[in-house]
């Protein structure tokens, strides 16, 4: 059975170690992509997860990769191999899925863009684990057991690291990051909708900076 390569694991580990906070970014207006992502980077965020929750995601990845080369730019909410190929062609440096299928896990083994697969259960984790995956997104974190679940996962899987996402906010991020098997935390609080609608980019920068400061 083909196993995940050291190259892929090293790349995902580099992404997770680059920033303790990973913003979940949905682009509703194409012209917002670069200034929004620039505002996050100005606030100290080094990893950008641009989701495919809107039709502008793939194009935004391509644009932001060129405009902000100092950041890690990846694709989130990838749910099919067709989408995986699209974001890879757009230059995504990593891919995050909300859940797992055997087909996506196997496709990612030889993909240029490494995968952070989403899991909510031990069975899903074991599916990825059997192929060599040791880094996972835990989603939706809060409704799937939150911190108690992550503590329970550590017993049978002490070598697995998570990036929990879903229901986490600025006030709870620090508690999640205190867990030994959590490398980073994802969240949409870093991209408040009202500030984006008003194009108040300085507000986004301040939210990012304040969120990082709260972790110190």
pLDDT > 80? residue 199:
yes
Residue 216 is predicted with a pLDDT of 86
- Give the pLDDT mean for 97-120: 97
Residue 1 is predicted with a pLDDT of 74
Residue 7 is predicted with a pLDDT of 93
Separation CA 40–CA 45 (nearest Å): 5
H-state helical runs in 19-138: 33-42, 57-67, 81-89, 102-108, 122-129
What's the pLDDT band for 37 if we cut at 50, 70, 90? very high
pLDDT > 80? residue 141:
yes
- Give the pLDDT mean for 16-25: 98
Cα torsion 79, 80, 86, 89: sign: positive
This prediction's pTM: 0.97
What's the pLDDT band for 2 if we cut at 50, 70, 90? confident
Cα torsion 95, 209, 189, 180: sign: positive
What domains can you pick out in the chain, each with its CATH number?
Answer: 6-210 (3.20.20.70)
* Catalytic sites, residue numbers: 49, 137
Separation CA 26–CA 190 (nearest Å): 11
């Amino acid at each position: 059975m083909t196993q995940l390569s050291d190259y892929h694991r090293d790349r995902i580990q580099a992404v997770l170690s680059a920033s303790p906070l990973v913003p979940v970014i949905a682009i509703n207006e194409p012209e917002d992509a670069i200034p929004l992502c620039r505002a996050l980077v100005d606030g100290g965020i080094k990893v950008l997860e641009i989701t495919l929750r809107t039709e502008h995601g793939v194009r935004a990845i391509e644009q932001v990769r060129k405009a902000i080369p100092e950041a890690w730019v990846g694709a989130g909410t990838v749910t099919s191999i067709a989408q995986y190929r699209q974001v890879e062609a757009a230059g995504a440096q990593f891919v995050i899925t909300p859940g797992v299928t055997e087909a996506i896990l196997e496709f990612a083994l030889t993909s240029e863009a490494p995968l952070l697969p989403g899991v909510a259960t031990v069975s899903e984790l074991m599916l990825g684990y059997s192929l060599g995956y040791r880094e996972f997104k835990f989603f939706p974190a809060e409704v799937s057991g939150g911190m108690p679940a992550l503590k329970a996962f550590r017993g049978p899987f002490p070598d697995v690291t998570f990036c929990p996402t879903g229901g986490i906010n600025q006030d709870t991020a620090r508690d999640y990051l205190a867990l030994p098997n959590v490398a980073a935390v994802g969240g949409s609080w870093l991209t408040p909708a009202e500030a984006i609608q008003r194009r108040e980019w300085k507000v986004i920068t301040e939210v990012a900076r304040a969120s990082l400061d709260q972790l110190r």
